């Protein structure tokens, strides 16, 4: 590190009456990995979109290598040496891996046609260099979310950039894949590529970054060296106050068994899955991305089929015809992807909250606006959903508030068993703490909760017992007093439950 490669001075941006950024300053040194930290709504993505030419600032100046530049568009930013990996995957699903990597700059034969052979060869070299071993000729839409994220990273790196921006790049990656990403980042650092790294996962920052800049409510709070700070200081900078009890958990006396699954099998997906969860219990499901945790729970919830096995709910054997049947009998599931599976983003907050519980807000055969509004107001208040009103679109909320709307939607169905699939993915630290508190309160009230999470600190701090899944099989079970990272990863990466 040494010379300054990027300077952003007095950057301001408003959208109508909303001031998204106010006089922001940010600088980046050559070969530096610099984290940009802040809660959802702090302005991080807006600042990055200005750097990437997507937005134009109202005021301010950008200098690269000491020269003032104007980012009139995405192409100008790329030509200046800036590559951005956005949080939302922007690949073309029906094109191949290699076509996505070379999109807009396809290699040509002497006859001027697309040189697929050369593109496939180079794409194979690039993907394998990053540890992604896939058929580069297959449509990218057939890859897992984690694999698609890796293709995004490879595509950005292939532009021979000076500055690489990564916006939540690890949100869909397993620990093993995250470590491969970090290895790549360290290689790029040695090649004097500068990296701006945005993540809500605090533990990642200490592992890979040199400095951390904190933003709050569209303003600059401060910059610290990673080795000279700690989580308490960073949280205080982000939220403007000390945040105690980040993981809220009171361990309850576990009551009667509410859900039991025996020998559940779907050929080629999962096999001989057995577990049970009791009232007041938070049962964790851990494992690497692709372990089939979500697929197991979708079958339990009636959203997918299974070939054999038995499910018992509150002492009664059940086989849900579909998810509506599961909801009616008292099972709810918060899905992994809130934007695609959990919400209708163009509809209002109120519409989303009552979407799965319309039968509970009827007066006779008609919907009762009074009952409906009472449910909406109750959950907006109880879950502290920050929205100007119940009538604004769910898509306009921050990630944390969107997730709380999804939670509200399912809690309104009054479930006995609640399945949570990655409930804090892409959620800022303040909203995470609120969600943990909500989960804890639900367990205290006697709800049985299944928590699927790829974040080991979340699993270890929130769960009573944990099932570890690998390749569609439960390969290990750990009680609270046995939980540690080494034990979980031993099973997840190849240990045996009989060892």
Shared-domain flag, residues 380 and 283: yes
In a domain, 69, yes or no: yes
pLDDT score recorded for residue 499: 40
CA distance linking residue 93 with residue 381, whole number of Å: 39
pLDDT score recorded for residue 496: 47
Shared-domain flag, residues 235 and 262: no
Question: Each residue's pLDDT tens digit in the chain (499 positions)?
Answer: 579 999 999 999 998 877 889 999 999 999 999 999 987 778 888 999 999 999 999 999 999 999 999 888 888 888 888 988 876 778 999 999 999 999 988 999 988 899 999 999 999 998 888 778 899 999 999 987 778 878 888 888 887 789 999 988 877 676 777 887 888 888 889 888 999 999 877 888 999 999 999 998 889 999 999 999 988 888 888 877 655 567 888 887 888 999 999 999 999 999 999 999 999 999 999 987 778 999 999 999 999 999 999 999 999 999 999 988 998 899 999 888 777 777 788 888 888 888 877 677 666 666 677 777 888 888 788 888 888 888 888 888 877 788 888 888 888 888 999 999 988 877 777 778 888 988 999 999 999 999 999 888 889 999 999 999 999 999 999 999 898 888 888 888 875 444 4
Count of domains observed in the chain: 2
CA distance linking residue 224 with residue 400, whole number of Å: 26
In a domain, 352, yes or no: yes
Shared-domain flag, residues 173 and 263: no
- Report the CATH number that the domain containing residue 307 is assigned in CATH: 3.40.50.300
Nearest CA among 52, 62, 56 for reference residue 8: 62
In a domain, 427, yes or no: yes
Place of tokens 């949100």: 171
Contact call for residues 44 and 220 (beta carbons, < 8 A):
no
pLDDT score recorded for residue 497: 43
Shared-domain flag, residues 164 and 234: yes
In this structure, the number of other CB atoms found within 10 A of the CB of residue 242 comes to 9
E strand intervals along 267-334: 270-278, 282-286, 308-313, 316-318, 331-334
CA distance linking residue 475 with residue 175, whole number of Å: 18
What Rg value do the Cα atoms of the chain yield, rounded?
Answer: 24
H or E element that contains 238: helix 231-239
Write the Ramachandran bin of 56: left for phi over 0, alpha for psi from -120 to 50, otherwise beta: beta
Contact call for residues 349 and 394 (beta carbons, < 8 A):
yes
Contact call for residues 439 and 449 (beta carbons, < 8 A):
yes
Shared-domain flag, residues 232 and 281: no
Q: Select from 171, 206, 239 the last residue of a domain.
A: 239
Q: Select from 177, 207, 239 the last residue of a domain.
A: 239
Q: Select from 210, 239, 268 the last residue of a domain.
A: 239
pLDDT score recorded for residue 362: 66
pLDDT score recorded for residue 242: 57
Shared-domain flag, residues 85 and 230: yes
Domain around 57:
4-239
CA distances from 149 to 154, 292, 439 (A): 9, 18, 29
In a domain, 394, yes or no: yes
Which three-class secondary structure state does DSSP give residue 395? helix
pLDDT score recorded for residue 281: 95
In a domain, 250, yes or no: no
Shared-domain flag, residues 223 and 290: no
∠ CA 374-381-250, nearest 5°, is: 120
pLDDT score recorded for residue 378: 81
Is pTM beyond 0.85? Reply is no
Nearest CA among 217, 248, 214 for reference residue 234: 214
Write the DSSP string, 121-138: HHHHHHHHHTT----TTS
Q: pLDDT by residue (tens digit) across 330-387?
A: 999 988 877 777 778 888 888 888 887 767 766 666 667 777 788 888 878 888 888 8
Shared-domain flag, residues 274 and 231: no
In a domain, 461, yes or no: yes
Shared-domain flag, residues 425 and 281: yes
Shared-domain flag, residues 261 and 234: no
Shared-domain flag, residues 123 and 193: yes
In a domain, 308, yes or no: yes
Which three-class secondary structure state does DSSP give residue 344? coil
Q: In what order do the strands lie in the sheet with 18-29?
A: 18-29, 4-15, 59-64, 67-69
In this structure, the number of other CB atoms found within 10 A of the CB of residue 68 comes to 10
In a domain, 83, yes or no: yes
Shared-domain flag, residues 220 and 264: no
């Amino acid at each position: 590190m040494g010379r300054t490669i990027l300077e952003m001075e007095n950057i301001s941006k408003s959208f109508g009456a909303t001031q998204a950024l106010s006089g922001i300053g940010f600088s980046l040194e050559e070969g530096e990995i610099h984290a940009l930290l802040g809660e959802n709504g702090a302005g991080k993505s807006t600042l990055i979109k200005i750097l990437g030419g997507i937005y134009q600032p109202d005021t301010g100046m950008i200098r690269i290598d000491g020269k003032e530049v104007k980012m009139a568009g995405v192409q100008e930013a790329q030509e200046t040496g800036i590559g951005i990996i956005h949080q939302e995957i922007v690949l073309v699903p029906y094109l191949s891996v290699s076509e996505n990597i070379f999109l807009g700059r396809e290699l040509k034969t002497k006859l001027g046609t697309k040189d697929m052979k050369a593109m496939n060869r180079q794409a194979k070299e690039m993907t394998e260099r990053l540890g992604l071993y896939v058929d580069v000729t297959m449509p990218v839409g057939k890859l897992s979310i984690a694999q698609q994220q890796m293709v995004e990273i490879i595509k950005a790196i292939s532009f021979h950039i000076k500055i690489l921006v990564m916006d939540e790049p690890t949100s869909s990656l397993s620990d093993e894949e995250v470590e491969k990403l970090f290895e790549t980042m360290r290689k790029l650092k040695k090649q004097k590529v500068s990296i701006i790294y945005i993540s809500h996962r605090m533990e990642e920052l200490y592992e890979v970054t040199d400095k951390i800049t904190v933003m709050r409510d569209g303003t600059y709070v401060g910059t610290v060296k990673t080795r000279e700070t700690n989580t308490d200081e960073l949280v205080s900078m982000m939220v403007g106050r000390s945040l105690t009890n980040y993981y809220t958990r009171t361990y309850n006396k576990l009551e009667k068994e509410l859900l039991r699954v025996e020998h559940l099998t779907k050929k080629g997906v999962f096999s001989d899955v057995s577990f049970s969860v009791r009232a007041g219990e938070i049962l964790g499901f851990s494992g690497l991305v692709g372990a089939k945790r979500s697929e197991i729970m979708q079958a339990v919830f009636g959203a997918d089929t299974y070939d054999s096995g038995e499910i018992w709910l509150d002492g009664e054997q059940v086989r849900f015809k579909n998810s509506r049947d599961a909801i009616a009998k008292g099972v709810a599931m918060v899905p992994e992807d809130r934007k695609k599976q959990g919400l209708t983003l163009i509809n209002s907050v109120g519409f989303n909250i009552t979407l799965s519980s319309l039968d509970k807000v009827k007066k006779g055969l008609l919907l009762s606006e009074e009952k409906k509004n009472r449910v909406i107001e109750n959950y907006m208040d109880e879950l502290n959903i920050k929205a100007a009103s119940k009538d604004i679109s769910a898509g306009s909320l921050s990630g944390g508030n969107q997730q709380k709307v999804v939670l509200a939607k399912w809690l309104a169905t009054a479930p006995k068993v609640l399945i949570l699939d990655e409930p804090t993915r892409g959620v800022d630290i303040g909203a995470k703490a609120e969600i943990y508190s909500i989960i804890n309160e639900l367990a205290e009230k006697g709800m049985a909760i299944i928590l699927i999470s790829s974040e080991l600190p979340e699993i270890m701090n929130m769960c009573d017992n944990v099932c570890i899944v690998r390749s569609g099989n439960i390969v290990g079970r750990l009680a609270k007093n046995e939980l540690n990272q080494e034990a979980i990863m031993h099973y997840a990466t190849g240990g045996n439950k009989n060892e």
